Structures are given as structure tokens and as C-alpha cells.
Amino acid sequence: MATNYTVPQMVHPHDDSHTYRFCPRCGGPLDRRAVKATEPERPVCTRCGFVFYIDPKIAVGTIIRSESGRLVLVRRAIEPGYGKWVFPGGYVDRGEPLTSAAIREAREECGLDIRLDALVNIYSYPGRAPVIVVYAATAIGGTLAVDDEQLEAAELESSAIPWDELAFPSTHEALRDYLDGQRHPIPAAAPLAPWRAKR
Ligand SMILES: [Zn+2]
């Protein structure tokens, strides 16, 4: 059952797909194989042939203007970025619309009900799994609070943003873009086509 799992060449240093050893479908050993000549090698089950595509992870974040006109940031109580500042956000659940995830995460992470006003931008980085969709939002209710993933939440003047203590490159870039006035319309959620709708 031993598989030859040396770290492969020709993959990006942050591609962690070689750390997966067993097939999630049948438990058989995975091996790296070229599924298509033009694509990177992928983990493939040697027993059932399942191709284990390691997909990007979609995250949402919201830059929230509070009722006092300040920006809401939270300080992380978890790695990565423990102790650093970020705007509220998190991973989108499979099947969850982006805008619903953004509103849910804001409520969970800082206790605020928000209205999404615009799309600031979408951020992705070579070799990094997350793709981060960042919205501009306005607080419309709730009370500033934290859950177990934050050390504190604060409303800050834009001049008081702790630029040297931000958690991620996307935090820095999105706050810059936001303060530069970058706004895009939020794409309307397309209804499911009739032949795709649940019966
Ligand atoms: Zn399998």
C-alpha cells in the first residue's frame, strides 16, 4: 500500500495537494499523475481512478462603515494572522451565495447587521488557495461584538488603520482600494435556470 509520495517537481511551492495521501471516495492510495498533458499533475486514486482536484477556496470580506462613519476592523484570535487586524470575513460554504456569506460573516464576526453597497474588488495570489471577494458595506443594526475567532472589534477612523498590523495582503490591498474609492456594482445573483432548479 505504500505510495511514493515525494514532493513533486513542477508544482507551486504553496500547492499542498501532495499532502493528501488517500482517496476521499474509496480510501485507496493517491498517486500524482498527469491527467492532461497541458495541466499540472494531480492526485489520482490508484484504486478507483478518482481525480482529486484541489480547488481554490472562496472567501468574502466586508469593509463596513459604522453609524459613526468609521470603519470596523477585528483582531484575529486564530492563525493564520493571530493578533493581526482584518475586516470581518470568512470562507463561503458550498452552495452559499457570496452576498449571503458576506452578511452572515459580518454578523458572526462583529455582531453587526449590514447592507452591501458595492463590490470593492476580488483578490487572488499566485500559489495561494483563497480567492477573496471584498464588499463595501454599511452597518444598519446590531451591536459591535466578537465571537471566539476575534480578540476584539473596533471602529476606527481611516487615519487610524494599523497598516503594519494587518493580517493578510488582501486586507492591505482591499483597504487601500476602498479608501481610493474603488467601487463596482454587485453582480445580481442569477436565478437558477429552470432545468437546474430543484424539483
Ligand atoms: Zn478511490
Query: The CATH number of the domain where 135 resides is what?
Result: 3.90.79.10
Would you say residue 91 has pLDDT above 50?
yes
Average pLDDT over residues 87-106: 96
**What is the band of 8 on the pLDDT scale with cuts at 50, 70, 90?**
very low
Cα 9 to middle of ligand 1, angstroms: 24
Inside any domain, residue 101: yes
73 and 48 in one domain?
no
Q: Residue 148's pLDDT is what?
A: 87
Cα 163 to middle of ligand 1, angstroms: 46
Cα 92 to middle of ligand 1, angstroms: 27
Domain total in the chain: 2
pTM exceeds 0.85, yes or no? no
Cα 22 to middle of ligand 1, angstroms: 8
Average pLDDT over residues 172-182: 98
Q: How far is Cα of residue 48 from the mean position of the Cα atoms in its chain? A: 31
**Amino acid letter, 28:** G
88 and 144 in one domain?
yes
Residue 140, domain extent: 57-179
48 and 68 in one domain?
no
Contact 90, 102 (CB under 8 A): no
Q: Which residues contact 129 (CB under 8 A, 6 or more apart)?
A: 14, 54, 56, 57
**What is the band of 127 on the pLDDT scale with cuts at 50, 70, 90?**
confident
Cα 29 to middle of ligand 1, angstroms: 7
Cα 72 to middle of ligand 1, angstroms: 46
115 and 43 in one domain?
no
Cα 25 to middle of ligand 1, angstroms: 5
Closest-CA residue to 42 (of 11, 75, 64, 83): 11
170 and 133 in one domain?
yes
Would you say residue 58 has pLDDT above 90?
yes
**Amino acid letter, 5:** Y
Cα 10 to middle of ligand 1, angstroms: 24
